[in-house]
Amino acid sequence: MGHIGKQTVVYKTPPVIINAYSSAGPKEQQGPLGEYFDNKLPDELLGQDSWEKAEAHMIQQTVQGLLDRACKLPSDIQYIFAGDLQNQVVASTFGLKDFNIPFFGLYGACSTMGESMSLASMLIAGGMADLVIAGTSSHYCAAEKQFRFPLEYAGQRTVAQHWTVTGSGFVLLSRNGEGPKITAITTGKIVDLGITDTFNMGAAMAPAAVDTILTHLEDTNQKPSDFDAIFTGDLGNWGVAIANELARKSGVNLSPILNDCGKMIFDDKRQETDAGGSGCGCSASVFAGYIYKQMLKHKLKKILLVPTGALMSPGSSQQGNTIPGIAHAVCIEM
Amino acid sequence: MELFIEYVKCFVVGGLICVIGQVILDRTKLTTGQIMIIFLLAGAFLQAIGVYQSIVDFAGAGATVPISGFGYALAKGGMEEVGGSGLMGAFAGGIKATAPGITAAIVFGYLVALCSNPKSKPFK
Amino acid sequence: MVASAMEYKKEGFIYGMGAKLFTIAGPVIIYGTIASVVIGIIYYFVK
């Protein structure tokens, strides 16, 4: 076990994902994967009086759902890794504070699921914990309010724009047990190809996704066909096309097995989501709700989960900065 | 019949102004906010050179309702006040002319915001 | 104006609603006023 190649860690005793739990909002429930989400939220406010509090509440419900399903108490868990899109990661703070689990708050934008699962797996494989929870969330209304315009403003959407998912996904990692195992992780670098258009996240993140995927293949000496599927987080329709093209230029053909959680979660034409779903909750809920279950049924045996994030703040693009991307790869085998 | 023609002129000019905005939005990388300010300043500038008044005379509300009409009102106010009270009029004129509009926006905007809560988008 | 103010109501009447009423309208009033002053001054000297 240990660090191999440029950015990869391979585990001799792979941590096991012994359980997973997902929450999803009404629009996500009406998408192609609607039936797979565990906690189907009735609306986006959940009886709270702001979108931000609703997201915190959703996180709390998701982690509680995970603990209930795994028949564990909060006191059984050594660490929890979580993050979200809200300023200063407050959704996770307020959602998790009552569990009293030692908490690592993270920010990786929409790559946070990859980041949290990577760090959690390192702790377990390193022998420093037995049970660790990792996950993330996002909320459409809270994200729009913070990053773009107030909801009622009714600004026009562009073709390359994404729809932030209202959803959450958390997984429970253990040293022992049955289930899909995290066998390797590749941590992404910040990749900047100079994209400045805040309405085209796919283009901002695709280079990072390709960089991490190709590095993973190189470090572990594998080919795309060694995997049943590679799932990126939220490249969307445009981002996937760009990613395939970038990979092709490096001599690697990803198109047969590359899929994207953002493309899978919504029916873009019917639900008018333009380029597809996005947000930390996109890859989290799709993995915890759908992909995990497919692996338990042995329909997928070896996958690479590559959540992708666009690293920016509401003010950074206004200051003329570009939008760099980052992607964290998690190799999961049944 | 005359009233009808008046409405048609109003409709066509107002629509044309909006179409120009839509074309700019679709064809350039300008944001809605930037286009709004451009239209505002364009209205002010066109009034300064005397052109916008003719459009208002022709199309009435079709020219005064869009944001360019707000720029027109500001510029016209500035110029008229200068005509009456000299240089200091430049500082009073714009806001003086648009005061009812701004006040109405503040008062009614506040009341509506007080009484409503943001709702999410309809789901499909 | 209303959209911004509505959205930030939860943050209180002064810093939330009050401040946010002008998030999008602010630039309009600022640049419009400046334009009217500039045009007024130029008009004075041209006259």
Closest CA to A137 of A219, A56, A215: A56
Q: Which two tokens stand for residue A28?
A: 């996500």
Closest CA to A113 of A53, A173, A70, A65: A173
CB A101 within 8 A of CB A93: no
pLDDT of C32 strictly over 70 = yes
C-alpha distances in Å from residue A184, one per residue of A17, A189, B49: 13, 17, 69
pLDDT of C47 strictly over 90 = no
Q: Once rounded to an integer, what is the mean pLDDT over residues A34-63?
A: 95
Q: Once rounded to an integer, what is the mean pLDDT over residues A227-236?
A: 94
| Chain A closest-CA separation from residue B105 CA (Å) | 16
Model confidence at B124, in pLDDT bands (50, 70, 90)?
low
Q: Once rounded to an integer, what is the mean pLDDT over residues A295-323?
A: 91
CB contact under 8 A, C6 and A50: no
How many Å apart are CA A166 and CA A47, to the nearest integer? Answer: 15
Q: Once rounded to an integer, what is the mean pLDDT over residues B3-7?
A: 92
Q: Once rounded to an integer, what is the mean pLDDT over residues A26-51?
A: 94
The alpha helices in A80-200, defined as continuous H runs, are 90-96, 112-125, 140-147
CB C36 within 8 A of CB B44: yes
A151 closest CB neighbour out of B25, B118, B124: B118
Number of structural domains (chain B) is 1
How many Å apart are CA A65 and CA A71, to the nearest integer? Answer: 10
How many Å apart are CA B54 and CA B67, to the nearest integer? Answer: 17
How many Å apart are CA A295 and CA A286, to the nearest integer? Answer: 13
Residue B8 in any domain: the answer is yes
Could you tell me if B113 lies within 8 Å of chain C, comparing CB atoms? yes
pLDDT at A201: 83
pLDDT of A54 strictly over 90 = yes
pLDDT of B11 strictly over 90 = yes
A145 closest CB neighbour out of C2, C7, C24: C7
| Chain C closest-CA separation from residue B104 CA (Å) | 12
pLDDT of A213 strictly over 90 = yes
pLDDT of A198 strictly over 80 = no
Nearest residue of A to residue C7, measured between CA atoms: A150
Q: Which two tokens stand for residue A173?
A: 């990692």
pLDDT at A153: 65
Residue B122 in any domain: the answer is no
Closest CA to A116 of A90, A140, A84: A84
pLDDT of B123 strictly over 70 = no
pLDDT at B109: 85
| 8-state DSSP, C14 | I
Helix, strand or coil, per DSSP, at residue A90:
helix
pLDDT of A319 strictly over 90 = no
Could you tell me if B77 lies within 8 Å of chain C, comparing CB atoms? yes
Other Cβ atoms less than 10 A from the Cβ of A82: the count is: 31
Residue B123 in any domain: the answer is no
pLDDT at A255: 93
So what's the ipTM on this one? 0.78
How many Å apart are CA B91 and CA B81, to the nearest integer? Answer: 9
Lowest mean pLDDT among A65-79, A170-184, B77-91, C16-30: C16-30
How many Å apart are CA B117 and CA C3, to the nearest integer? Answer: 9
As a whole-number percent, the residues of chain B with pLDDT over 70 amount to 97
How many Å apart are CA A44 and CA A138, to the nearest integer? Answer: 11
Query: In this predicted model, which residue has the larger pLDDT, C27 or A19?
Result: A19
Average pLDDT score over chain A: 93
Please report, as a single letter, which amino acid is at residue A75: S
Q: Which residues pair with A134 in a beta bridge?
A: A81, A171
* Domain boundary assignment for chain A: 1-334
How many Å apart are CA A301 and CA B32, to the nearest integer? Answer: 47
A152 closest CB neighbour out of C3, C10, C23: C3
pLDDT of A155 strictly over 80 = no
What domain range is C11 assigned to?
A: 2-46
Q: Which residues pair with B70 in a beta bridge?
A: none
Q: Once rounded to an integer, what is the mean pLDDT over residues A229-236?
A: 94
What domain range is B23 assigned to?
A: 2-115
pLDDT at B15: 95
B110 closest CB neighbour out of C5, C38, C42: C5
pLDDT in tens, B20-59: 999 998 888 888 888 999 999 999 999 999 999 999 999 9
CB contact under 8 A, B94 and C9: no
How many Å apart are CA C39 and CA B94, to the nearest integer? Answer: 10
Choosing among 3.40.47.40, 3.30.70.1350, 1.10.1740.10, 1.10.10.10, the CATH entry for A1-334 is: 3.40.47.40
Closest CA to A163 of A124, A126, A199, A114: A199
CB contact under 8 A, A151 and B123: no
